[in-house]
Amino acid sequence: MKSPILLIIQREFITRVRKKTFLLMTLLAPLLLAAVMIVPGLLASMPEDDKSIIVLDEPSILVPEEGTSQFSLEYLNPNEFDLETGKTFLRESDKDALLYIPSGNGWDPDFIKNNILLFGKEDIGIDLQRFVERQLEEKINQQKLIRQGVDPEVVAQTKTKVTIKSFTMGEEGNEETSATPLKMGLGYIAGILIYFFIFFYAVQVMRGVIEEKTSRIVEVIISSVRPRQLMMGKILGIGLVGVVQFLIWVILSGTIYVVVSTFIYPEIFAQQVPAGPGSPDLSTVDQTNLFSMLNSINFPVVLSGFVFYFFGGYFLYSALFAALGSAIDQEADSQQFMLPVTAPMIIAITTAMNVIQDPNGPLAFWMSMIPLTSPISMMIRLPFGVPIWQIALSALILVSTFFCVVALAGKIYRVGILMYGKKVTWKELYKWLKY
Amino acid sequence: MIRAKDVRKQYGNKVALANINLNIPSGSIYGLLGPNGAGKTSFIRIMNQITAPDSGVVLFDNEPLKPADIGRIGYLPEERGLYKKMKVGEQVLYLAKLKGLSSSEAKSRAKEWFVRLEMEDFWEKKVEDLSKGMAQKVQFVTTVLHKPALLIFDEPFTGFDPINTNLIKNEIKRLNQEGATVIFSTHRMESVEEICDHIGLINNGKVMVEGLLLDIRKHYMNGTYAFTTKEEQTFSGMDVLHRDLQHTGHTATIKSEAYPSALIQKLAKESQLLGFEEVLPRVSDIFIDIVNNGPKPMNS
């Protein structure tokens, strides 16, 4: 005879893993994830369309610039063409765009810079416009310098680029190469993973509870097991599904990435894959420095922190979602309660960048103490190194909150699952705590 | 089998059970009767240890209820259902294992029941593919599979079709003869009159009357008599409740304050009297009587 909670975990796990949607999600998600990693690299390496531009350069600013292989420049004779005939020429030619630079009265750079026109047969691409602007800015700058009596060559020589090597002073006096971009990436990715895991699986706990309620099986079950056992069995069973799915994803995504990057498109991955918008720029990581940077991150702490906050966050939120599910009759009614429950998580993820920028500041500190945000916020901070007492305090708060929430959620759950056809309010939920 | 002592349960300000005392004898078929909201389900949930009483105690075989008793109770709640996406066989086994049966034991017993109720071909089906009547059979099997000593049915016949109702009534009688104590809880009192031997009437969280059904019906006899006469009678000065013509003669149910012997004398003069009996009141009439007039003391 098995203990009832094991039977519940087993059922929750098996019925979910056997579903076709599980198989589909488990196989498709790594493909999607791999696509997200690989496609930007592919796109960046694709040759872009060449554009040829005809230039009507009245003040002779650009002449004789020939442009690049991508954007080639050809000039119309200003003595033979004006703006209108230039446009007609463009229309009848196979060229892509017409750049018109007016001379104005007496070669005034400030007049010129404001009156340059660019006509395209199709929409002017942002790259093309930038290219033209950069070319013109450079030429007009030069002309201005010459007018002020400064030799542009001198200016070019005085240009300085500063490169700083940063170090972190270790507590034992050793100096470590600072690995800020790497830490940012690590913290951010780990935080986001926790966020998605909590959201995805805790909501499944809620769905499971609602399913048992609407199918009316719940009273049969709780005449055999304690409501709290049913709740915990469900949370653990679904958590187990999540862990298995997560591990398959990690392994599959990794395999796909390795296969694609070593065998199929090795030349693309020899360069750095450009970072997506919003994610920290890792391209500055110097390969030779990588090893010492990795050394500066306390991986045992980061890894065990990840596992702890991963599960801590999931358990906390899934208990809340279980209580929520028990209080309502159908998923559509969940909206009014979902937002207040998920708001802390959303705040944690939207303040992620602020936490990264100042990982030991007051915002980061408090966010990593509040139990509803700490699984995400503390995870983001961990790679930067967090004083051990803060980690301990945050973990202690999370664990004790979890036990309080399970006790309270268990009470609401116990009453809620047997309550049908009642529109539940916050006041009602509070009353249930005292039943 | 079950003895409730001063059991009280309150939800917020609403008193569901006001210190009730009940005695459900071993081997009985006990009707727990009362209108909706009387407190029947509250008491049943306490017996099933889904909720605990605020005060008082429920004894199961003379000992306070303990978690292990759950395996000795089979409960079919009023709000009943099954996992829609799960296969019938798996589901029956799962519920039986939750009640403490081993896998192999559960399987062999389930197969037996499936044969007995002619539902062998359900095993591999999903519940959502069953008709309502089929699902009801499955539900019944899950309730009795672990051979519980006490069977509790809350509003058992609502939503059951007549064929299933009969089938299940007969199965329940059989289980009772094999030794199980059965509790029927319902607000449709007439539905259990023929099957119960004991009843407890409750209203507003209080027990109004409890005991052997026959004793109670006798106790609440209220001067209602059934006569069969050769010719039709006027029954002047009497309250006639019902008249009919049957092959035995003219029948009439009347209500009278007079002594039966006086009634017989009077009618025998007017017509040939073929039959006479004092009518036992129906449970629903007793219930209305008590609600209106309060319970009759049993020693009167």
CATH number at residue B272: 3.30.70
- Mind listing the pLDDT tens digit for each residue in B81-98? 899 889 999 999 999 999
Share of residues in chain A with pLDDT > 90 (%): 17
- Does residue A41 sit within a domain? no
Q: Is residue A426 part of a domain?
A: yes
> Is pLDDT larger for residue A264 or for residue A136?
A136
Q: Are residue B43 and residue B191 in the same domain, yes or no?
A: yes
Is residue B74 a contact partner of residue B150, using CB atoms and an 8 Å limit?
A: yes
Q: Report residue A279's pLDDT band, with 50, 70 and 90 as the boundaries.
A: very low
Instruction: Please give the Cα distance from A21 to A25 (Å, whole number).
Output: 6
Range with the poorest average pLDDT among A31-35, A214-218, A350-354: A31-35
| pLDDT surpassing 80 at residue B229 | yes
**Cβ atoms of B32 and B202 closer than 8 Å:** yes
Which conformational region is residue A167 in: left (phi greater than 0), alpha (psi within -120 to 50 degrees), or beta? beta
Q: Taken in order A99, A101, A102, A103, is the CA torsion positive or negative?
A: negative
Residues of B in contact with A4 (CB under 8 A): 98
Cβ atoms A370, A344 nearer than 8 A: yes
Q: Which domain covers residue B56, as residue numbers?
A: 2-217
> CB-based contact (8 Å) between A392 and chain B?
no
Task: Please compute the mean of the pLDDT values over residues A194-218 and round it to a whole number.
Answer: 89
List own/partner pairs for A400-407 with CB under 8 A and 24 or more apart. Answer: A401/A316, A401/A371, A401/A372, A402/A312, A402/A315, A402/A316, A402/A319, A402/A371, A405/A316, A405/A319, A405/A320, A406/A228, A406/A232, A406/A315, A406/A319
The answer on pLDDT for A378 being more than 70 is: yes
The model carries a pTM of: 0.75
pLDDT of amino acid A289? 62
Q: Judge if B147 and B266 occupy the same domain.
A: no
Give me the domain span that covers residue A135. 51-156
Three-class DSSP category at B97: helix
DSSP state for residue B71 in the 8-state scheme? G
Tens digits of per-residue pLDDT, A50-94?
888 888 888 888 878 888 878 888 888 888 888 888 888 888 888
Of B45, B70, B83, the CB nearest to A224: B70
- Looking up residue B152, the CATH number of its domain turns out to be 3.40.50.300
Query: Using CA atoms, how far apart are residues B150 and B4, in angstroms rounded to an integer?
Result: 15
User: Is residue B32 predicted with pLDDT exceeding 90?
Assistant: yes
Tokens at A233, concatenated: 């069995």
| 8 Å CB contact of A219 and B77 | yes
ipTM of the prediction greater than 0.90, yes or no? no
**Mean pLDDT lowest for which of A288-297, A333-342, B125-134?**
A288-297
Contact list, B76 vs chain A (CB under 8 Å): 220
Q: How close is the nearest chain B Cα to the Cα of A215, in Å?
A: 5
Residue A157, number of CB atoms within 10 A of its CB: 9
pLDDT at B175: 94
The confidence score (pLDDT) of residue A276 equals 44
Q: Which one of B167, B197, B217 terminates a domain?
A: B217
Residue A341 forms part of a structural domain: yes
Put simply, whether A18 touches B (Cβ < 8 Å) is no
- Whether B81 sits inside 8 A of A215 (CB atoms) is yes
Instruction: List the single residue in B73, B76, B98 with the smallest CB-CB distance to A4.
Output: B98
What is the layout of strands, in order, in the sheet containing A97-101?
A71-75, A51-57, A97-101, A117-120
Q: What is the mean pLDDT of residues A398-421?
A: 85
Tell whether A17 lies on the interface with B, counting CB pairs under 8 A: no
Whether A224 and B95 lie within 8 Å, measured CB to CB = yes
pLDDT, residue A258, reads 81
Q: How far is B207 from chain A (nearest CA, A)?
A: 23
Residue A277 has pLDDT above 60, yes or no: no
Model confidence at B44, pLDDT cuts 50, 70, 90, reads very high
Q: Which pLDDT belongs to residue A285?
A: 47
DSSP at B87: B
For residue B300, tell me if it sits in a domain: no
Report the domain count for chain B.
2
Cβ(A417)–Cβ(A213) under 8 Å? yes
Domain CATH number, residue A72? 3.40.190.10
Residue A154: both structure tokens together: 């001198």
Selected residue with higher pLDDT from A174 and A205: A205
Query: What is the number of other CB atoms lying within 10 angstroms of the CB of residue B23?
Result: 17
The separation between CA A215 and the C-alpha centre of its own chain, rounded to angstroms, equals 38
The residue-averaged pLDDT of A139-167 equals 82
The arithmetic mean of pLDDT across residues B239-259, rounded, is 83
- List b or e across A7-22, with b for residues whose CB sees 16 or more CB atoms inside 10 angstroms: bbbbbbbebbeeeeee
